[in-house]
Amino acid sequence: MNIVILAAGQGKRMQSALPKVLHPIAGKPMALHVLDTARKLSPKNLVMVVGTGADAVRAACAADDLRFAEQAQQLGTGHAVMQAMSLLASAENNSATLVLYADVPLIAAASTGDVAVLTVEMDDPTGYGRIVREGAAANDGRNGARDGNGAGAIVRIVEQKDASPEEKRIREINTGIVVFPTAFLAENLPKLSNQNAQGEYYLTDLIALAVQAGIPVVSAQPADAAETMGVNSKTQLADVERAYQLRQARALTESGVTLADPARIDVRGSLRCGRDVRIDINAVFEGKVELCDGVSIGPNCVLSNCRVAAGAQIKAYSHIDGASVGKGNLVGPYARLRPGADLGEDVHIGNFVEVKASSIDDQSKANHLAYIGDAEVGKRVNIGAGTITCNYDGVNKHRTVIGDDAFIGSDSQLVAPVTVGRGATLGAGTTLTKDAPADKLTVSRAKQLTIDAWRRPEKKPK
């Protein structure tokens, strides 16, 4: 089979500088969603028609198995398919061509027929092409293609802007998913006219041509109407996004994940969950995220490209990006784990603690207000409130090494490169510029003194 994806349209109704088909659903351009689906059908030829913002669309979609056809002027969907014909490998006589629209992103892999149209009934069909069928009484069965639901055979598709008031009342619409015999396309595309309300060559006019040629036109209905939602405006983009997210939320709950509210989770990538995972409201997952058995995610957390090992608890308002959270860790509330943060088992990272490119070994704790960057922290280390690794000298980054069982007093600055020995203690407020020896107390603060003779100034009475 050949697959042609139409992605050249202007998308005026989006009111955006970004080409319509690059607007994201779940963080991924619509066109890429459609490409994923197309690939599931292992097409012999996969072609995308580009035009508006062609360079950007090509750059976003480029792949070895995909060829592009350029539609210099957007003269309609029929004209768009015509631009792809030369790439459909000699239009072998009995091959079929499936047409997909890049602005119908949730479509699932559909099967083929002679001329087959995927249709759906919509409560509000405004904007879509309507499926005109022979009236039940008038149907003489010429096409022999009555649908299972007993409706008359398809006669033609009429676009919203060309439809009579009566036709506008038809609720069965064209999803835009159509399969044609390739040879039929080659023969009939040149016959299309643009004498219609939009002055475009409508692909959908091929249906009437097929009927006239006595080629059976069959239709199929998708199981889930959300699959066929088209995106022409930001409103529809938002509707499709919600439909997509709800579908992902359903898949998660079906697989045993507990969601506080399936309407308040956003997965923009892939989320893998073990058993007994709980996710509170407003969690956002980006890229590849893995939550192992028994993990709980508090409200308002953002997790990107990370792994959270079994039993870890991520508390409210935490932000985790490119980090690895260990077994049984307690993270947050308000924690920030940045790329390269690698936490061992039973590590505690508390509120307003930021960790970057650092390993923190088992049972170590940084519970309040700290920055740990480019550091190697051993086991059972206690990092006091306000501790900062001064890893940057304005030009280069330097490492801090803290041995097992060290105790870093509150409000210390570790000026890297520097090493704190095993079991060492730093007194509160230490500015460490030289290595601290193992098992000793190191303090750098000025000695405390009390001035006996000092008196507080007093206001003179007037």
**Residue numbers of the site for Ca ion (CB under 5 A)?**
103, 230, 232
DSSP 125-177: -TTSPEEEE--TTT---TT----TT-PPPEEEEE-GGG--HHHHT--EEEEEE
- Asked whether position 53 contacts ligand UD1 by CB under 6 A, the answer is no
**348 is an active site residue:** no
Site for ligand UD1 in 120-139 (CB under 6 A): 128-129
Choose, by CB under 6 A, the member of 46, 75, 273, 385 that binds ligand UD1.
75
| Binding segment (CB under 6 A) for ligand UD1, from list 40-48, 196-204, 408-416, 424-432 | 196-204
Residue 288 token pair: 């590849």
What Cα–Cα distance (Å) separates residue 175 from each residue in 103, 117, 358?
10, 8, 51
Report what 104 binds from Ca ion, ligand UD1, none; CB cut-off 5-8 Å by kind. Answer: ligand UD1
Q: Is 44 left (phi over 0), alpha (psi -120 to 50) or beta?
A: alpha
Name the active-site residue from 23, 33, 368, 398: 368
- Asked whether position 408 contacts ligand UD1 by CB under 6 A, the answer is no
- Asked whether position 7 contacts ligand UD1 by CB under 6 A, the answer is yes
Which contacts of 415-423 are long-range, i.e. CB under 8 A and separated by 24 or more positions? Answer: 415/390, 416/374, 416/375, 416/389, 416/390, 416/391, 422/378
Q: With beta carbons less than 8 A apart as the criterion, state whether 420 and 414 touch.
A: yes
Residue 24 token pair: 């994201």
Report what 152 binds from ligand UD1, Ca ion, none; CB cut-off 5-8 Å by kind. Answer: none
| CA 75, 79, 83, 87 torsion-angle sign | positive
Q: Cβ 75 to Ca ion, closest distance in Å? A: 16
Interhelix angle 30-40/54-61, nearest 10 degrees:
50
| Binding segment (CB under 6 A) for ligand UD1, from list 35-43, 77-85, 182-190, 448-456 | 77-85
- C-beta of 49 vs 306, nearer to ligand UD1: 49
Q: Cβ 26 to ligand UD1, closest distance in Å? A: 18
Q: Is 238 helix (H, G, I), strand (E, B) or coil?
A: helix
Does the bond joining 457 to the residue before it have cis omega, within 30 degrees of 0? no
- The residue whose Cβ lies closest to ligand UD1 is 129
- C-beta of 110 vs 173, nearer to Ca ion: 173
- Asked whether position 105 contacts ligand UD1 by CB under 6 A, the answer is no
Which contacts of 393-401 are long-range, i.e. CB under 8 A and separated by 24 or more positions? Answer: 397/373, 398/374, 399/374, 399/375, 400/374, 400/375, 400/376, 401/375, 401/376
Measured distance CA(106)–CA(203) in Å, rounded: 21
Measured distance CA(347)–CA(312) in Å, rounded: 9
| Binding segment (CB under 6 A) for ligand UD1, from list 171-179, 235-243, 326-334, 377-385 | 171-179
Q: With beta carbons less than 8 A apart as the criterion, state whether 256 and 275 touch.
A: yes
- C-beta of 230 vs 373, nearer to Ca ion: 230
Choose, by CB under 6 A, the member of 66, 102, 120, 309 that binds ligand UD1.
102
What track of x and - describes contact with ligand UD1 for positions 230 through 269 (by CB under 6 A)?
x-x-------------------------------------
- C-beta of 129 vs 328, nearer to ligand UD1: 129
Q: Cβ 294 to ligand UD1, closest distance in Å? A: 43
Q: With beta carbons less than 8 A apart as the criterion, state whether 83 and 42 touch.
A: no
| Binding segment (CB under 6 A) for ligand UD1, from list 73-81, 211-219, 328-336, 446-454 | 73-81
Q: Cβ 278 to Ca ion, closest distance in Å? A: 39
Q: Is 42 helix (H, G, I), strand (E, B) or coil?
A: coil
Report what 173 binds from Ca ion, ligand UD1, none; CB cut-off 5-8 Å by kind. Answer: ligand UD1
- List residues binding ligand UD1 (CB under 6 A): 6-9, 21, 49, 51, 71, 74-77, 79-80, 101-104, 128-129, 157, 159, 173-176, 202-204, 230, 232
Catalytic residue positions, numbered: 368
